[in-house]
Amino acid sequence: MTFKRFFQLFICYLLSVIVGYGVISFFPEASIWVKGLLFTVIGYIVLCLPLTILTFLKSK
């Protein structure tokens, strides 16, 4: 794995954590289970979309 690819993956991972945490901060009164579910779903979506796009661009 090249450094460029590693850096792209790291940025995608970091963005998924930041966006997930940002979304759950809008729901301070929600239970820990709801926050965990939101964090997981939003983080997964934010992580998978850029990685899928990068994979398609890499295969071209």
Both tokens of 43, joined, read: 């983080």
pLDDT digits (tens, 9 = 90+) for 5-43: 889 889 989 988 999 899 999 989 989 999 999 999 998
Query: Which pLDDT belongs to residue 9?
Result: 85
Query: Which pLDDT belongs to residue 18?
Result: 92
This prediction has a pTM of: 0.73
pLDDT of residue 54 exceeding 90, the answer is no
- Domains in the chain: boundaries: 3-59
CB 50 within 8 A of CB 39: no
pLDDT of residue 1 exceeding 80, the answer is no
